[in-house]
Amino acid sequence: MTSSVYSAAVVGLGPMGAAIARAFLGAGVDTTVWNRTRAKAEALAARGARVAADLPAAVGQADVVVTVLRDHAATRRFLETVPSDLRAGRAFVVLASATPAEARRTQEWATERGFALLQGAIMVPEPLIGTDDALVLYSGEQRLLDRWRPVLEVAAPRSVFLGPDPGSAALHDTAMAQVFFAAMTAFLHSAAMATAQGLTATEFLPWARESLALLPDAFAQLAADVDAGTYDGAEDNLLMELSGLEHIHATSVEAGVDLRLPALLRDLARRAVDAGHGADSWSRVVEVLRAGSPTV
């Protein structure tokens, strides 16, 4: 069965919702669009979108309603406006980002109100939507993903189901985003240090990539240590690493750049060392992180 057999509504036409609507339209999915700011919906009419007069009209014309609003608060406000008789008989797919707990609350809230709701987390930037690289993680109601896969895979061929916990997609989303933003910020910090001392960021880039190339194997070792609860420092240990982190901090001082990131890394290592774990590997830092922060 091809995707054009189905009718979809896309509610929320920010950069991401508009990209999803364009992917649907490009694949011949019968698509109705609605957006709070109507001009963004009308911009899609030239591509063949049906612009709904109001929200009930958008929902009423669709087998599957994909909501791509800013957050879950806006999503719940939208769902509240869907008349009861339009809630049954169609699927609602929520793609706004959230915390795991909020995703679970939204699932419970929606189920109590008669919605068949599937939640997903979009893991790629807007330009990748509709390409083979597009990845959306889903969790919760597997039957809904199975049923609507032909449509949802138009936007994201890599539509992956993670399990029945409706918070799982959000957990993976936030955990993956943390890896991404922490790495990007580390690069920017290094770029600030390098440019303060005469290098360009582009000159430094290949050397940053040398560090990056070490990370896949490093992550695998960290994951094994965290799961085993053992932090063998035979090859590298926290006392040695603390000394290196002091150098990063001091270089940042010399460069006159923001000290928060190197101070954070140094503090994490120091806490583990002060607790008597100087001979352990960097993976021991997970125990410092698990202990929670006394200041934030």
Which residues sit at the interface with ligand NAP, rule CB under 6 A?
Answer: 12-17, 35-37, 40, 68-71, 74, 77, 95-97, 122, 125-126
Mention every residue, 6+ apart, whose C-beta is less than 8 A from residue 45.
51
Q: Which is nearer to ligand NAP, 70 or 260 (CB)?
A: 70
Minimum Å distance from CB 160 to ligand NAP?
A: 15
3-class DSSP assignment, residue 27? coil
Q: Residue 169: CB partners within 8 Å, gap ≥ 6?
A: 103, 119, 120, 121, 137, 138, 139, 140, 162
Pick between residue 45 and residue 224 the one whose CB is nearest to ligand NAP: 45
Residues with Cβ within 8 Å of residue 185, at least 6 apart in sequence: 261
Q: Which two tokens stand for residue 18?
A: 């508009």
Q: Report the residue number, 36 or 271, with the smaller CB distance to ligand NAP.
A: 36
Residue closer to ligand NAP, measured from CB, 44 or 68 = 68
Report the Cα 154 to chain-centroid distance in Å. 19
Nearer to ligand NAP, 15 or 256 (CB): 15
- Minimum CB separation of residue 68 from ligand NAP in Å reads 5
What is the closest distance, in whole angstroms, from the C-beta atom of residue 28 to ligand NAP in the complex?
23
Interatomic CA distance for residues 270 and 287, integer angstroms: 13
Contacts of 237 (CB under 8 A, 6+ apart): 278, 279, 280, 281
CB of 158 to ligand NAP, least distance (A): 14
Other C-beta atoms closer than 10 Å to the C-beta of 295 total 4
* Strand residues in 69-111 grouped as ranges (E): 91-94
Cβ at position 70, least distance to ligand NAP in Å: 4
The Cα–Cα gap between 117 and 108 comes to: 10
Question: Could you give the angle at which helices 15-26 and 142-155 cross, rounded to 10 degrees?
Answer: 80
Q: Which is nearer to ligand NAP, 16 or 245 (CB)?
A: 16
d(CA 266, CA 246): 7
CB 80 within 8 A of CB 92: no
Nearer to ligand NAP, 94 or 116 (CB): 94
Q: Which residue is nearest to ligand NAP (CB)?
A: 14
Cβ distance to ligand NAP smaller for residue 102 or 246? 102
CB of 115 vs ligand NAP, minimal distance in Å: 17
Kindly state the smallest distance separating residue 11's Cβ from ligand NAP, in Å: 8
Least separation, in Å, of the C-beta of 121 and ligand NAP?
7
Tally of CB atoms within 10 A around 106: 25
